[in-house]
Chain A
Amino acid sequence: MHTPSTSTAPDSGRQILLSHFDDLEQQNLSSTLGMWFFLVSEVMFFSGLIAAYAVYRGLSPEAFHLASRHMDKWWGFANTLVLLTSSLTMALAVRATQTGDRRAIVRNLLWTAVLGSAFLGVKVFEWKAEIDHHLFPGKHFVVPDHDEEHLKEYLEKTDGHVDPVKLEREKGRFQLMFVLYFFMTGVHAFHMIVGIAAVVLFALLTHFKWFSGYGQTQTESLGLYWHFVDVVWVFLYPLLYLIE
């Protein structure tokens, strides 16, 4: 299909240059730019959720604050640190493709997959705790008594009395925070699962010398995706866990 313009001996570190590109630099730029365009569409996707969050948090700050207190900020902290570390190992894997160190590429990619899986493991543990406390939105959702008391006090303080219609609305917004929480962290986790699968696949492909050169362009594109998922979490963490 494509005629490679550059001869590639195994392990020569030279990538195949496809015929429709001038040189490797242009080929690399085109690939990473394509990935960037995809990521911009992903930004818009997550922005829709963040916009919904912004509107309802603006309308019911107290309900969101109370709901957020059910998230353990220190587990979130540890998990964010794990994810940032996975970004470091991913960056080092991409660097290893540039220096042509095959063992370092595979090692760093595998570390990235391990750290990504650890992140998901903690997430599952957190979700389970919340589901066990009847905080998963739907039929079995229960607003905890002390949170309902807080909402009543809040309404009494702002309006002078407890309007039952307003109380129901605030309880609904309390549940809505969990809808957003499970949806946002769930979609983020889905991105992580896709990312981990791709990282493991790339580690195998690099190990078996499937890529021409060291897969610089391919691994760099994968790295962009991984870092993007990290950036999303950087915003989700304070929005969901740190409402004081």
Chain B
Amino acid sequence: MSSHPHLGQSKTAHHITHHITPVKTYRIIFILLGLLLFATVLASELPLSRSGHLIVAMTIAMIKAVLIVLFFMHVYYSAPLTWVIAAGSFLWVGLLLAFLTSDYISRGWLHNILGK
């Protein structure tokens, strides 16, 4: 409430001036995204193992996603709560994929334990 200027939340809210990202930053991020896109296509031509390709492609995609989220989506300049929400979505996807793949990978093991 504006009648309580000393409460943490509203005090900061009153003093934040909207951050305006310079055009130059957007251009640099765009060029980086273009280079990473080119890198991911080139990497698909490299003589790597199948899992090697997947790791390289997903790492590059992750870097691109982080650049977009931080700068185009302004999370870099946003309130901590926005950081938590954005990071949380990655966390939930990680959990989903981790539990799902661990289930599929370990199915054969149970078979062995039972001695069938």
Residues of A within 8 A of B (CB): 22-23, 25-26, 28-29, 32-33, 36-37, 39-40, 43-44, 47-48, 50-51, 54-55, 58-59, 61, 65, 73-74, 77, 80-81, 84-85, 87-88, 90-92, 95, 98-99, 216, 220, 223-224, 227-228, 230-231, 234-235, 237-239, 242-244
Say whether A98 contacts B20, CB under 8 Å. yes
Known pairs A92-B23, A242-B40 / 17 extra A-B pairs, C-beta < 8 Å: A22-B14, A23-B14, A26-B10, A47-B92, A51-B96, A51-B100, A74-B41, A81-B34, A84-B30, A85-B30, A91-B21, A95-B23, A234-B65, A237-B40, A238-B40, A238-B44, A242-B53
Give the CA-CA distance A192 to B48 in the complex, in Å.
34
A interface footprint on B77-116 (CB within 8 Å = 1, 0 otherwise) = 0110110011011101100110011001100000000000
Closest 6 CB pairs of A and B: A238-B57, A242-B44, A40-B89, A43-B89, A88-B30, A36-B85
User: Which of B13, B41, B81 is the one whose CB lies under 8 Å from A22?
Assistant: B13
Q: Would you give the shortest CB distance from A40 to chain B, in whole angstroms?
A: 4
Give the CA-CA distance A33 to B74 in the complex, in Å.
12
Say whether B44 contacts A32, CB under 8 Å. no
Q: Which of B45-90 contact A (CB under 8 A)?
A: 45, 48, 50, 53, 57-58, 60-61, 64-65, 68-69, 71-74, 78-79, 81-82, 85-86, 88-90
User: Which of B65, B82, B88, B89 is the one whose CB lies under 8 Å from A33?
Assistant: B82
Complex interface: chain B residues within 8 A of A44 (CB): 89, 92-93, 96
Say whether A22 contacts B45, CB under 8 Å. no
Q: Would you give the shortest CB distance from A235 to chain B, in whole angstroms?
A: 5
What number of B residues sit within 8 Å (CB to CB) of A? 53
Tell me the dominant secondary structure on chain B's binding face: helix
Given contacts A25-B14, A84-B37, A234-B64, contact A51 B97 (CB under 8 A): yes
Given contacts A23-B13, A25-B16, contact A84 B101 (CB under 8 A): no
Listed A/B pairs (7) with beta-carbon separation below 8 Å:
A47-B93, A73-B44, A91-B26, A98-B20, A230-B68, A237-B40, A242-B40
Tell me the dominant secondary structure on chain A's binding face: helix
Say whether B72 contacts A227, CB under 8 Å. yes
Q: Would you give the shortest CB distance from B40 to chain A, in whole angstroms?
A: 6
Complex interface: chain A residues within 8 A of B50 (CB): 61, 65, 244
Say whether A33 contacts B81, CB under 8 Å. yes
Q: Would you give the shortest CB distance from B66 to chain A, in whole angstroms?
A: 9
User: Which of A59, A73, A235 is the one whose CB lies under 8 Å from B61?
Assistant: A235
Q: Would you give the shortest CB distance from B30 to chain A, in whole angstroms?
A: 4
Q: Would you give the shortest CB distance from B57 to chain A, in whole angstroms?
A: 4
Complex interface: chain A residues within 8 A of B2 (CB): 22-23
Say whether B34 contacts A84, CB under 8 Å. yes
Say whether B30 contacts A234, CB under 8 Å. no
Say whether A238 contacts B34, CB under 8 Å. no
Give the CA-CA distance A87 to B32 in the complex, in Å.
13
Say whether B45 contacts A244, CB under 8 Å. yes
Say whether A33 contacts B85, CB under 8 Å. yes
